[in-house]
Amino acid sequence: MGSGASGCGPAGFVIFLLVIWFISTYWVAILTALSVITVIVGLIVAFVIVGRTPPPEVSQELGEPPRLPAQAPEPKPKSVRRAKPVRTPKPKPLSADELAAQMRALKQTSHVRAMQEWDYEWILLAYPNKSSREISEIANAHFAHGRSIGVNYGDPTLPGFNLRKPGSDVP
C-alpha cells in the first residue's frame, strides 16, 4: 500500500493521479502564484518590522553623555471662534430727488409691463388660430424691437391694430 490514496479505494487512486497530472501540467503557474504570494507576505512582514522599530538615537560626540531626543511642544488647544451674526447693511436714506427718480422708474417699468401684457392679449386676439408657441414667438419678436401698441401708439407691421396718433386719445 504505497500510494497516498490507499484508504480511498479505486476512486482515491484516480483522484491521486489527477492531482499528479494537474501539478505536472500547471507547475509553472503554481510556482508563479506561490512566489507572488511569498513576495507579498515578505513585504507585509518587512513593513510591520520597520513600523515597530524605534526612531534612531540622536547622534552625539564621543565621551558625551547620551542626549534625549528633543521633545515636541504640546499643541495648544484651538480656540473655537464663534461666527459673527450676519447683518444686512442698513439702507441709506434717499434724498427727495433720488426717491422721485426711483418712483418714476418704478412707475415707468410697471406701465411698460402692463402695456406688454395688453399687447400680448391683442396679439392673441389677432391670431386666433396660432399655437401658444407661435404666439409667444410673435410677441417676443414684437417686444424685442421695443414696439408696443400702448407705449408707442401702435405697430404698423402687424395687421389689425389700431394706429393711434399721439394726442388723439381724447374722443
The full DSSP string for 98-147 is HHHHHHHHHHHHHHHHHHHHHHHHHHHHH-TTS-HHHHHHHHHHHHHTT-
Q: Is residue 144 part of a domain?
A: yes
53: confidence class by pLDDT, cuts 50, 70, 90: confident
Q: Is residue 106 part of a domain?
A: yes
Grid coordinates standing for 105?
422708474
Q: Which is nearest to 161 in space by CA: 147, 144, 146, 145?
A: 147
Q: Is residue 142 part of a domain?
A: yes
Compute the residue count for the chain. 171
Q: Is residue 26 part of a domain?
A: yes
Average pLDDT for residues 58-64, to the nearest whole number?
A: 62
Task: Determine the pLDDT at residue 75.
Answer: 79
Backbone angles phi, psi at 143, to 5 degrees: -75, -25
Task: Determine the pLDDT at residue 160.
Answer: 45
Q: What is the pLDDT of residues 78-102, one digit of tens each?
A: 777 888 888 888 888 888 888 898 8
Q: Is residue 114 part of a domain?
A: yes
Q: Is residue 32 part of a domain?
A: yes
Containing domain of residue 12, as a range?
6-52
Task: Determine the pLDDT at residue 32.
Answer: 92
Q: Please, are residues 119 and 142 in contact by the beta-carbon 8 Å criterion?
A: yes
Q: Is residue 123 part of a domain?
A: yes
Task: Determine the pLDDT at residue 93.
Answer: 82
Predicted TM-score (pTM) above 0.85: no
Task: Determine the pLDDT at residue 37.
Answer: 96
Q: Is residue 19 part of a domain?
A: yes
Portion of the chain with pLDDT greater than 90, in percent: 12
Total domains present in the chain: 2
Task: Determine the pLDDT at residue 9.
Answer: 74
- Listed in sequence order, the residues at least 6 apart from 139 whose beta carbon sits closer than 8 Å to its beta carbon are 116, 119, 120, 123
